[in-house]
């Protein structure tokens, strides 16, 4: 057994000895066949992340000219006096250097700064420029690789290079990458000198066995413009209530975007977030699109906004229309600067609804701000507003800005800004509200006696009575008024001076501050007052009034400028009624006379408002009026009819005036009154005369007696029918 082990060991030793001899002979053989022996140092200065300056220093121990096949040693080169030979050596080195650099930086653009290497101090020197291309990085040729790589590094990216560094047979190459003061190392498989901030790779190919080495280098910008890898998106809500309708604009500002869900960053760059400049850079180089950013980021934010805003309190559906703000896209004057890749301007997505129902204390913003500019004040808190109580659920920092009409301030500010840390609270005030010390409203009561007809029934029964047809109208003009008792404002809102001007009145109706049922009650109560007034004026006359909706709606539907809340024109409320009023008269034939007794009317002033009464009489009636105060005035209308009117100021609200009016009818009026009676009498007489004539004619008519001819059957005991009539021929 021991003998077998000894035998096996002897065999293994012999094999090992044989292989050693073979490899040693092969190495000697290779060394003898390689004519070149050069030590080269390639100092690669990283001017930028894509542009290198390569300075080469060569120690040539031996080199063979490929043209002549002659080999020159280090000593021979040092003693050369023939510049032609030296030039040939330099040319040989130039070709070899160009091959090494091109192969080491595959697909890069390589250019030489010198025609031939320079020889001094027993060394050869040469300089090259290496520009890494989009093809080098595996990108499309249309990509501006300088901008993309250097721009992304300035936003905090980490770039990874993989070089296949080369060495010609017989060359011992050392590649030293100088990161300069611009870049810092992240990772490498080379030797790092942290003092010099350089990385070194060496290739010992003196025997031709190691032609290349895989070099890996990851680095980043030492002082990038943007630091940090957290997304930075901000939402600015703008409630623009300056005009008739309120708009909601949600501006999404992308300062820095988390791109982990995208495929826009090249594989050789590690970057989590991209600044606004970086987005414009990537889009301009077709590495992503605006549509992709909308679909993956903006659309999600839009849905979050809708969910957060469309609360039960908001009670409406947002109709957000999207567009990019072109002043922040690649169309802006300077989309990016690779030396300063920041978020200015932030990419801005605009989400806008042109008509939202913003309410404060359940009344429209326009109604609220109009009331404030008309003199109202209101304390508000976040709960007063139907917007913004759930914005924290969006998950992004935000501000809400409300633009109010000119003159309106909240807590002394316009615009007013709030967010999750600054509350929406304060008092709504106006910087220049109108000032009123009393009401300014008036009533005009107009009674038009259109005509007078004779009461025929009473006339034929021995009484004399005229029926006056009355068209009554009352118009109320509200310029400045206290809040009518039929209406109310939300408790936190009060009229500072206690008065509501006409613009505020009509605005409250337009904006449904005053509800329809309250408006109807207001008009109905006014109608009852009108009916009572006319009934009192004409001694218990039954009056059925109506609201003139056209007059009212025309006055309240006028445009209101909430920045200039005025008391003119007034809000007008009109009522009308058609009535018949009997008036007795005295009629005498001998001597002939027609007299209407004096009519007495009682007029009263009203508190805090002026009132004018006017009674217009028919054509052909003159009037004489009298009252103890001499307030009644007689006038004539444009069509020649007489009237009297009497007016009361607000100071005369407790004054009552009795006016006596004597109506003096003209002959033409009297004829007009009796014309229907005369016509009726004439018709009656004619009717009687016609009946008399008809009856008289009937009496004079003689009817002849015709005797029938006997046919001879009278004595027969049975009935015999008469003969048939003769046939016509």
Rounded mean pLDDT, 721-727: 60
| pTM attached to this predicted model | 0.79
More confident residue, 304 or 11: 304
Q: Tell me the percentage of the chain whose pLDDT exceeds 70.
A: 88
Contact between residue 262 and residue 296 where contact means Cβ atoms under 8 Å apart: yes
The DSSP string of 535-600 is: HHHTTS-----EE-HHHHHHHHTS---TTS--S-SPEEEEEEEEEEEEEE-EEEETTEEEEPPPEE
Rounded mean pLDDT, 467-474: 94
Rounded mean pLDDT, 564-576: 97
Q: What is the pLDDT of residue 28?
A: 40
Rounded mean pLDDT, 284-289: 97
Of 52, 166, 159, the C-alpha closest to 110 is 52
Q: How far is CA 424 from the centre of its chain?
A: 21
- For residue 644 the two structure tokens come to 């009297």
- The dihedrals phi and psi of 331, each to the nearest 5 degrees, come to -90, 0
Structure confidence at residue 583 as a pLDDT band (50, 70, 90): confident
Q: What is the pLDDT of residue 23?
A: 41
Residue 358 to residue 696: CA distance in whole angstroms: 92
Q: What is the pLDDT of residue 444?
A: 98
Q: What is the pLDDT of residue 593?
A: 63
Q: What is the pLDDT of residue 479?
A: 97
C-alpha to C-alpha distances, 356 to 238, 248, 317, 319, nearest whole angstrom? 12, 7, 9, 9
Q: What is the 3-state secondary structure (H, E, C) of 361-394?
A: CCEEHHHHHHHHHCCEEEEECHHHECCCCCHHHH
Mean pLDDT, rounded, of the chain = 90
- The dihedrals phi and psi of 650, each to the nearest 5 degrees, come to -60, -25
C-alpha to C-alpha distances, 528 to 122, 531, 533, 545, 627, nearest whole angstrom? 123, 5, 9, 7, 28
Q: Tell me the percentage of the chain whose pLDDT exceeds 90.
A: 77
Q: What is the pLDDT of residue 718?
A: 53
Torsion of CA 63, 65, 71, 74, to 10 degrees: -40
More confident residue, 12 or 48: 48
Of 273-287, 439-453, 513-527, 681-695, the poorest mean pLDDT is in 681-695
Structure confidence at residue 30 as a pLDDT band (50, 70, 90): very low
Residue 476 to residue 470: CA distance in whole angstroms: 19
DSSP state letter for 728: P
Q: What pairs with residue 284 in β-bridges?
A: none
Residue 384 to residue 25: CA distance in whole angstroms: 98
CB neighbours of 328 closer than 8 A, spacing ≥ 6? 276, 345, 346, 347, 348
The answer to whether residue 726 scores a pLDDT higher than 50 is: yes
More confident residue, 287 or 702: 287
Q: What is the pLDDT of residue 452?
A: 80
Helix axis angle, 365-373 to 502-510, nearest 10°: 170
Q: Kindly report, residue by residue over 619-676, the tens digit of the pLDDT.
A: 989 999 999 999 999 999 999 999 999 999 999 999 999 999 999 998 777 776 667 6
Pairing of strands 440-454, 610-616: parallel
Rounded mean pLDDT, 588-616: 87
Helix axis angle, 502-510 to 549-556, nearest 10°: 100
Q: Kindly report, residue by residue over 42-99, the tens digit of the pLDDT.
A: 999 999 999 999 999 999 999 999 888 999 999 999 998 889 999 999 999 999 999 9
């Amino acid at each position: 057994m021991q003998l077998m082990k000894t035998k096996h060991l002897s065999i293994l030793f012999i094999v090992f000895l044989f292989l050693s001899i073979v490899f040693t002979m092969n190495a000697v053989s290779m060394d003898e066949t390689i004519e070149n022996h050069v030590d080269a140092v390639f100092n690669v200065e990283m001017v930028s992340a894509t542009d290198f300056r390569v300075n080469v220093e060569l120690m040539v121990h031996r080199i063979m000219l490929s043209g002549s096949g002659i080999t020159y040693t280090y000593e021979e080169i040092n003693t050369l006096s023939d510049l032609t030979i030296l030039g040939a050596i330099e040319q040989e080195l130039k070709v070899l250097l160009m091959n090494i650099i091109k192969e080491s930086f595959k697909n890069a653009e390589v250019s030489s700064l010198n025609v031939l290497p320079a020889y001094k101090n027993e060394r050869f020197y040469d300089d090259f420029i290496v520009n890494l291309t989009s093809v080098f990085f595996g990108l499309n040729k249309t990509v501006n690789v300088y901008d993309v790589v250097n721009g992304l590094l300035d936003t905090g990216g980490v770039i990874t290079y993989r070089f296949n560094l080369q060495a010609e047979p017989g060359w011992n190459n050392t590649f030293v990458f100088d990161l300069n003061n611009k870049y810092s190392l992240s990772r490498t498989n080379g030797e790092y000198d942290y003092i010099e901030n350089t990385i070194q790779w060496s290739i010992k190919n003196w025997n031709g066995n190691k032609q290349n080495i895989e070099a890996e280098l990851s680095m980043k910008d030492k002082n990038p413009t943007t630091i940090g890898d957290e997304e930075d998106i901000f939402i600015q809500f703008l409630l623009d209530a300056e005009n008739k309708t309120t708009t909601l604009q949600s501006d999404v500002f992308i300062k820095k975007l988390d791109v982990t869900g995208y495929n826009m960053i090249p594989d050789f760059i590690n970057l989590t977030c991209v600044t606004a400049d970086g987005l414009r850079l990537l889009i301009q180089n077709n590495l992503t699109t605006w549509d992709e950013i909308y679909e993956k980021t903006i659309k999600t934010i839009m849905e979050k906004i809708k969910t957060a805003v469309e609360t039960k309190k908001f009670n409406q559906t947002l109709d957000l229309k999207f567009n990019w703000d072109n002043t922040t896209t690649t169309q802006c004057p300077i989309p990016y600067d690779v030396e300063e890749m920041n978020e200015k301007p932030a990419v801005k997505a605009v989400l806008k609804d042109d008509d939202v129902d913003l309410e404060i204390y359940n009344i429209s913003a326009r109604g609220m701000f109009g009331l404030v500019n008309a003199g109202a004040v209101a304390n508000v808190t976040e709960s007063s507003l139907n917007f913004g109580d759930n914005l924290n659920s969006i998950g992004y920092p935000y501000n809400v800005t409300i633009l109010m009409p000119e003159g309106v301030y909240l807590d002394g500010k316009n615009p007013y800004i709030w967010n999750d840390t600054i509350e929406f609270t304060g008092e709504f005030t106006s910087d220049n509200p109108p000032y009123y010390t009393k009401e300014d409203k008036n009533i005009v009561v107009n009674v038009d006696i259109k005509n007078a007809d004779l009461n025929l029934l009473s006339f034929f029964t021995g009484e004399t009575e005229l029926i006056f047809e009355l068209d009554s109208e009352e118009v109320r003009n509200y310029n400045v008024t206290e809040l009518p008792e039929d209406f109310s404002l939300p408790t936190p809102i009060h009229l500072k001076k206690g008065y509501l001007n006409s613009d505020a009145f009509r605005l409250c109706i337009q904006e449904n501050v005053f509800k329809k049922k309250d408006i109807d009650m207001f008009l109905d109560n006014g109608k009852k007052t009108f009916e009572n007034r006319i009934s009192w004026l004409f001694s218990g006359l039954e009056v059925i009034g109506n609201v003139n909706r056209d007059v009212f709606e025309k006055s309240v539907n006028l445009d209101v400028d909430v920045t200039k809340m005025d008391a003119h024109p007034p809000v007008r409320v009109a009522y009308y009624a058609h009535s018949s009023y009997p008036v007795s008269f005295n009629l005498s034939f001998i001597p002939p006379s027609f007299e209407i007794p004096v009519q007495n009317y009682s007029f009263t002033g009203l508190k805090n408002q002026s009132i004018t009464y006017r009674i217009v009489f028919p054509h052909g009636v003159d009037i004489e009026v009298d009252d103890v105060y001499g307030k009644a005035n007689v006038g004539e209308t444009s069509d020649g009819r007489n009237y009297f009117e009497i007016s009361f100021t607000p100071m005369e609200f407790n004054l009552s005036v009795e006016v006596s009016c004597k109506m003096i009818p003209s002959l033409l009026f009297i004829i007009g009154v009796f014309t229907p009676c005369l016509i009726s009498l004439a018709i009656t007489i004619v009717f009687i005369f016609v009946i008399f004539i008809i009856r008289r004619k009937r009496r004079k008519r003689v009817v002849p007696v015709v005797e029938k001819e006997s046919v001879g059957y009278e004595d027969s005991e049975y009935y015999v029918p008469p003969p048939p009539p003769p046939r016509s021929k």
